[in-house]
Structure 1
Amino acid sequence: MSKSEGPMHGTAATPQDAQAWVGRVETREGALSPEFAGMLMGALGQPAAPQPAIHTGAIMPVLWHWAAFPEFVPIADIATDGHPKLGGFLPPLPFNRRMWAGGKLAFKGRFAIGEKITKRSEILSVDFKTGHTGDMAFVRVGHDLRGQGGAQIREEQDIVYLPIPDRFRAPRAIAAPEAPIFNERVEVGPVRLFRYSAATYNAHRIHYDRDYATGAERYPGLVVHGPMQATLLMEAAMRHTGHAPTRFSFRGVHPMFDGHLHLQAEADGPGALKLCTVAEAGHQGLQARFDWEE
């Protein structure tokens, strides 16, 4: 269930109009059922990672709360790209491409499978900018999550809105770490991408519809979900350090496409790792930082 307060659907917002969405609040209740947890396990499993328990009451793997609040939007309210149409909780910005650019989280305790979780979301800012690819907009959304058992997550999510280009222009390539602490190769083919889309109820067509991804949005292949990359890095970091995170942040620096990727890490001082996904071509895709208390 959800409850929203703020402006309703409308035409594309100007930079001035979009500021009316700042402060907009939405409250929802959700849970990660064993069934959705099983779908996530089937999407995220890889040979180096043990299968987690997914029964009711089991400790929820970190970042799996992203599947606890599916948006059950009617087909009539879905845009061409597969996302829910803009103008409800999120502002109707005048750009056709949107992506989860990054985020940061702070953790207190752990949620459980099947536990009721309350999420309060607020639009923190809407900023229009001009970069080397042209005009764009960034929306920052804050989320406060609280579980029945007392666990909490404070999360800030950055969403970027861009025009669709006439052709794909790759961002500047950032080289992989020279001597990573670990290097795990993970297959990210169409089946995994479809499964993760299904488990998170994410209908964005760039992840499973190759004709749309390459034709309409000009990508060279199916796009690997940023949150899936973050979740794979999180699991690897917890497994290698033996610690749960106190804080975690991530940002996309280069789109990753179907095929294979590598999970890599470097030490970043006491109680911290710098993480990244790396394409077969050798450049980084998603960068992250994992902090824990000794």
Structure 2
Amino acid sequence: MSAASLMEPDYTAWIGRTETREGGVTPNLAGMLDAAVGHDLSQVRDVSPGMVLPSLWHWVAFPEFVPMSDLGEDGHPALGGFLPPLPFRRRMWAGGDVRFNGRFRVGERLVKVSTIRAVTMKEGATGKMAFVTVDHVTTGDQGGVVEEEQNIVYLDIPRSFRPPKQISVPERLAYDERVPMNEVRLFRFSAATYNAHRIHYDLPYAQEVEKYPALVVHGPMQATMAIEAAERHTGCAPARFSYRVVHPMFHDSDMRLVGALDPAGGAIEIGTATFEDYLGLKARMEWKTG
């Protein structure tokens, strides 16, 4: 019986499922995140109560306090709660689209409503996979709203590491920055985000079970660093941020933050990259003009 036929009775019941959670980013939590993503060229952040929360930092506002007994082998919460019980052992943060309306602040109470919009089976170069699309609407007590689409991909673990096709770094870069990457940075980001996915801190698991050559750099960390660099170089606050993880990045090589201005104005193509000139995260930040 195929994975698709096994899925059919189950995943349709999850479409439309909603979850509401309350949270926020305290000064201590903001300080932890700042220490995880900060580097020599990044902005110095004031994380005192009431200060503007940097873009995408609301992602850390809703940690999942799941008992150890409810975690899967990979360290993630076992599927079958809010997310459907898909028959695949590997899950990855694939990408999404974020729209900003106002800003959040450190210490502000936030509420996030999440809705599963779609569960789609596909056949790729590595075999069957499933994409789960989740819509999130996060609102703050002071009027800010962030609407986003998140895409998560589930697939089988390969017998050996098979890298995806490489996408070249854009030409005519407006900036190209080097960020040190190592086990300590990955651990700090995992701690700040309460992310127990073992591919980010357990090297034997990452190599022997999931077949990665090294620890995997978090997709959300890449996005957070990429958008900070874009805001710093353009002087503009984002109205929209769309992103896609196109190649895994690893802890044993430093990472580049790159950006190429859109000639039409009002946007910049950004991402993370290797020193072999291919992208890890491919993204675009747009801002309001006029």
Same fold (TM over 0.5): yes
Gaps of 5+ in 2: none
Pick the aligned partner of 2:25 from 32, 35, 55. 32
- 4+ residue runs over 2 A deviation: none
1:272 partner letter:
A
Q: Is the aligned partner of 1:174 residue 2:163? A: no
Kindly report which structure 2 residues correspond to 1:103-252, keeping only aligned pairs within 5 A, or say none. Answer: 103-252=96-245
CA contact (8 A) 1:145 1:152 kept: yes
Q: Displacement of 1:13 after TM fit?
A: 5.9
CA contact (8 A) 2:43 2:232 kept: no
Q: Displacement of 1:15 after TM fit?
A: 2.9
Structure 2 partner of 1:291: 286
CA contact (8 A) 1:15 1:128 kept: no
Structure 1 partner of 2:45: 52
Q: Displacement of 1:282 after TM fit?
A: 1.8
Paired with 1:278 and 1:129, the residues of 2 have a C-alpha distance of: 27
1:220 partner letter:
P
Structure 1 partner of 2:277: 282
Describe the superposition over 1:150-188 as per-residue Cα deviations: whole angstroms up to 9, x where unpaired: 000001100000100000001111111232110000011
Structure 2 partner of 1:264: 258
CA contact (8 A) 1:262 1:277 kept: yes
Scaled by the length of structure 2, the TM-score of the pair is: 0.96
Q: Displacement of 1:281 after TM fit?
A: 2.0
CA contact (8 A) 1:193 1:224 kept: yes
Scaled by the length of structure 1, the TM-score of the pair is: 0.95
2:275 partner letter:
E
Paired with 1:241 and 1:197, the residues of 2 have a C-alpha distance of: 29
Q: Secondary structure at the match of 2:96?
A: strand
CA contact (8 A) 2:171 2:260 kept: no
Kindly report which structure 2 residues correspond to 1:17-96, keeping only aligned pairs within 5 A, or say none. Answer: 17-96=10-89
Paired with 2:8 and 2:286, the residues of 1 have a C-alpha distance of: 36
RMSD: 1.1
Gaps of 5+ in 1: 1-11
CA contact (8 A) 1:32 1:67 kept: yes
1:21 partner letter:
W
Paired with 2:203 and 2:161, the residues of 1 have a C-alpha distance of: 15
Paired with 2:200 and 2:177, the residues of 1 have a C-alpha distance of: 22
Q: Displacement of 1:199 after TM fit?
A: 0.3
Please say which of residues 105-114 and 50-59 is displaced more in the overlay: 50-59
1:265 partner letter:
G
Paired with 1:97 and 1:175, the residues of 2 have a C-alpha distance of: 26
Name the count of aligned residue pairs: 283
Paired with 2:43 and 2:235, the residues of 1 have a C-alpha distance of: 13
Describe the superposition over 1:94-138 as per-residue Cα deviations: whole angstroms up to 9, x where unpaired: 000001100101001100000000110000000000011100000
1:247 partner letter:
R
Paired with 1:13 and 1:101, the residues of 2 have a C-alpha distance of: 23
CA contact (8 A) 1:13 1:93 kept: no
CA contact (8 A) 1:223 1:255 kept: yes
Describe the superposition over 1:24-49 as per-residue Cα deviations: whole angstroms up to 9, x where unpaired: 00001101011110110110001001
Q: Secondary structure at the match of 1:276?
A: strand
Alpha carbons of structure 1 residues 13 and 154: separation in structure 2 relative to 1, 3 Å: farther
Paired with 1:218 and 1:145, the residues of 2 have a C-alpha distance of: 35
